Structure 1
């Protein structure tokens, strides 16, 4: 289900849950992440006759939910949903980082970009800017919000105050908007999402705005993460009981 970031949450949660319950995880062969990573335990369910016995559906993507009842059955279990919480794989973080190692071509492309723009002695901070579909969602007023230019300046100032010598990079699905509105940055020219995600992961720190793609870039980077603290909007249905499950406690919210 979903695209890159969503499927990364699904696979990471599957592996984390499997580790907790000491069972064998099976990753469906139709995952698009096969192109990015060398994933373990990929299987075609139809080919190997893997049938649903017990189904667990995660109805609230970013709210962790118990699966102990399903595992008590002792049967095969299929997980459905987005599982957008770091808590599902909190105890398996080293395993997940090892599995989500990009194929060499994506690492090469990202490193080549960085070698062409990097300044010696500077901290590299990468903004992930997603707009597009989120602008449409924000108009529906269901808890979605879009960061304005002021947010990027606040985030920029946060890192400048902390490190003084900082270089800013942007990964975005709206490169033209970024070049017109966010100044003194290097905008990624990649069209392959795997290259952009590898670039995010190789930067020292990441600024997260909207979407799970940037979330994973920040998590894989492992630096100091700043996120847009007005998503989801407080009091909205989208925000109820999900924020602490979605954003790790070490991340810093800025509005």
Structure 2
């Protein structure tokens, strides 16, 4: 009998994308049903169309298979029968859970048309402001700077992007491409305005909705990310070059130890 997988979707947009992506891949690899409620928030953002719609109540009696909330791949997590009915959730923050279905997943994670249109309008206005006549004449680089609660989460061990990191990152693109314009989103915009290098053309974006911010940066050509799942998905969905922090965790911290498992 064919079993079913219900992803437990919780946390921010980036976290939910990891949870959905892992459940999507597991269902594909095991030939199981993927159950995603029709009112799930992800459905309002992405053109998810290859899943089985059902009520949330259907999943309540399913056995839970839970991952630790760390960016670590647990190879034994998927050792359940294809005839089981599973609630799959928490963490799941590793590309190793879903890389084998990369093309199919990216098709599912196409932004809905109205979101794409608003992202395009935002970019068009920025190009006009900078007197750039053609989108094809410039390389757009999206920068996501995560600060917020991570600035004060010393015990967790997250490394926050420094001005030096941002300077090296923008210089990489300036040297590689002839015409570059940087688009910045951040939950610490005041800090970002003060610390993003001023020797390059930069536009700062705050559209008030996380899905619009993400869609606008995904419409760019390349990415500079700092920390966090939100920025990771921007880089993944954008394609192109992705500059990221080599050591995103403080050595010896709880977060640092988890990434070494």
Q: Deviations over 1:209-246 (max 9, x none)?
A: 11111111110001110112231223433133537x9x
SS, match of residue 223 in structure 1: coil
Matched, 1:160 2:181: no
TM-aligned CA distance change 1:6 to 1:160, over 3 Å? same
Deviation, structure 1 residue 160? 1.3
Q: Which residue of 1 aligns with 2:148?
A: 132
Deviation, structure 1 residue 68? 4.1
Matched, 1:180 2:190: no
Contact residue 142 and residue 218 of structure 2 kept, 8 A: no
Partners of 1:71 and 1:63 lie apart in 2 by 22
Query: C-alpha root-mean-square deviation of aligned residues, in Å?
Result: 2.0
Partners of 1:68 and 1:102 lie apart in 2 by 28
Matched, 1:44 2:55: yes
Q: Which moved more, 1:49-58 or 1:12-21?
A: 49-58
Q: Which residue of 1 aligns with 2:159?
A: 145
Q: Which residue of 2 aligns with 1:248?
A: none
Deviation, structure 1 residue 51? 4.2
Contact residue 54 and residue 70 of structure 1 kept, 8 A: no
Partners of 1:131 and 1:106 lie apart in 2 by 25
SS, match of residue 194 in structure 1: helix
Correspondence list, 1:1-255, <5 A: 1-29=10-38, 31-39=40-48, 40-46=51-57, 49-65=58-74, 66-71=76-81, 74-118=83-127, 119=132, 120=134, 121-137=137-153, 139-140=154-155, 142-182=156-196, 183=198, 184-240=201-257, 242=259
Contact residue 6 and residue 84 of structure 1 kept, 8 A: yes
Deviation, structure 1 residue 199? 0.8
Contact residue 208 and residue 226 of structure 1 kept, 8 A: yes
Q: Deviations over 1:138-181 (max 9, x none)?
A: x33x3212111111100001111211321111011222322222
Partners of 1:230 and 1:70 lie apart in 2 by 34
Partners of 1:94 and 1:3 lie apart in 2 by 23
TM-aligned CA distance change 1:30 to 1:84, over 3 Å? farther
Deviation, structure 1 residue 41? 2.6
Deviation, structure 1 residue 201? 0.8
Please, what TM-score do these two structures have when normalized by structure 1?
Answer: 0.86
